Amino acid sequence: MSRLRPTPGLFAVSVVASLLLGLMPLPAALLAAKPYWIALVLIYWLLEAPDRAGLGTAFLIGLAADVVFGTLIGEQALRLTIIAFLVLRFRARLRFFPLSQQAVAVFALLLNDRVVTLGIRAFSGEGLPPLTFWLAPVVGTLLWPWLFLLLDGLRLRLRVRDL
């Protein structure tokens, strides 16, 4: 898959779209279930096109997200860098997992990210969040196969059209 023609347009568009999805207002009941879109998109690109996305990219996307979401500058950069490191470390294995198994790995990554977030916020003096804080990784896991298929399909289509 990484032999595919690079698709710089799709990469940028998907990252911006993930930022927008994160900002999108939802009904109050669904708010807690909002997955960490940026991480999901980043994991996809790390798995499929590691020549395009690496630790540095993750760091920069994180900085952008910090500015957009008004978090401490560096918070999301740290979180995404940790995710990127773990994905790259286990990339060879993750890539050949079936989608369901991959989703479980993504769940572990997102859960770890939640723990890191909790650590950072505890350090900066914010209190413990309610239990629904842990809902987002579950939703992210359920969405992962669809996101994966969608981005894969888009890449394939773009390539076919260019040939």
Partner 1 sequence: MTYSGNSSGPLFAEGGAGALRLLAYLMVAVILMVADFRGGYLQQLRGWLSLLNEPLYRIASSPAVAASALRDAMVGRQNLAADRDALRSELLVAQAQLGRLDAVQRENERLRQLMGGTRGLRLQVQLASLADIDLDPFRHRIVLDRGGRAGVRTGLAIIDGSGLVGQVTQVTPMRANAILISDPSHAVPVQVQRSGLRTIAFGTGELNRLVIPNIPQSADIRVGDLLITSGMGGGFPAGLLVAHITRLQPDETRLFGLAEARPVAALDRSGEVLLVWDQPADALDEMGPPALPEPPTESPKLPADATPIDEAAVDDRGPSQ
Residues forming contacts to partner 1 in the complex (CB under 8 A) are: 16, 19-20, 23-26, 28, 31-32, 34, 50-51, 54-56, 59, 62-63, 67-75, 77-78, 81-82, 84-85, 88-89, 91-92, 120, 124-130, 133
Query: Alpha-carbon distance 41 to 11, whole Å?
Result: 9
- CB neighbours of residue 121 within 10 Å: 17
Nearer to partner 1, 75 or 147 (CB): 75
Residues whose CB falls within 8 Å of the CB of residue 35, separated by 6 or more in sequence, listed in order: 110, 136, 137, 139, 140, 143
Nearer to partner 1, 9 or 127 (CB): 127
Closest CA to 14 of 161, 162, 155: 155
Nearer to partner 1, 85 or 97 (CB): 85
Q: Please, what is the minimum distance in Å from the beta carbon of residue 156 to partner 1?
A: 21
Q: Please, what is the minimum distance in Å from the beta carbon of residue 160 to partner 1?
A: 25
Nearer to partner 1, 91 or 145 (CB): 91
